[in-house]
Amino acid sequence: MADFVNTLLGIDSDSLTWWQMSIRAVLVFIVALVIMRIGNKRIFGKQTAFDIVLGIIYGSILSRAITGNSPFWPTLAAALVLVLLHRFLAFLAYNTEGFIGPFIKGSPVCLIRDGKLQEDELKKHNLTENDLNEALRNGGVTTVKDVKAAYLERSGEISIVKKDA
């Protein structure tokens, strides 16, 4: 049986046939879905740098399993370890205070406070007033004076809290 699986997946082969690569792709797809269920929906939810890095590395690792650039089973194991690491770090960030949570997930930054632009924060995060004005318009606000607060969120999006009318 092991010989059949090895032949089917091209485990000991120097080069893969189109059908071996196709079978690997189907198997990697199924395994990836199972691993993602272990990791939970957060990985592809609100995208923080933490989540984006995982997605890029995860895709890269799994592509190596499909194309045969890395050993098949150890590569799938590495993908599982990566998702478990993500889950563990998310757990740490949620359950600890101080440095760890913000380091892993980032922190929001106030760009407008009580209708006043925080120019030092814009400069620090390489945002122009045009970038901020676009976010304001998308939030239904035409002027900074109508904003109680605006934040550069961990995902890179700008959220707006309007002043009470």
Tell me which residue has tokens 């970038």. 131
Per-residue model confidence as pLDDT tens digits over 22-66: 888 999 999 988 887 877 655 555 677 778 888 889 899 999 999
Q: What pTM does this model have?
A: 0.70
Closest Cα partner for 132 from 109, 153, 155, 112? 112
Helices (H) and strands (E) in the chain, counts: 7, 4
Instruction: Give pLDDT tens digits for 79-89.
Output: 999 989 988 98
CA 32, 37, 43, 46 dihedral sign is positive
| Highest mean pLDDT, choosing among 10-14, 82-86, 93-97, 102-106 | 82-86
- Coil, helix or strand at residue 69: coil
The residue among 19 and 6 whose pLDDT is bigger is 19
Above pLDDT 90, what percent of the chain?
A: 42
Q: How far apart are CA 28 and CA 30, in angstroms?
A: 5
Write the pLDDT tens digit of every residue in 114-143.
Answer: 999 999 999 999 999 999 999 999 999 988
Structure tokens at 108: 């929001």
Q: Which residues of the chain are in CATH 3.30.240.20 domains? A: 108-162
pLDDT of residue 46: 60
**Residue 50: closest CA among 91, 79, 89:** 89
The topology (CATH level 3) of 108-162 is CRO Repressor (3.30.240)
d(CA 8, CA 57): 26
For all residues of the chain together, what is the average pLDDT?
86
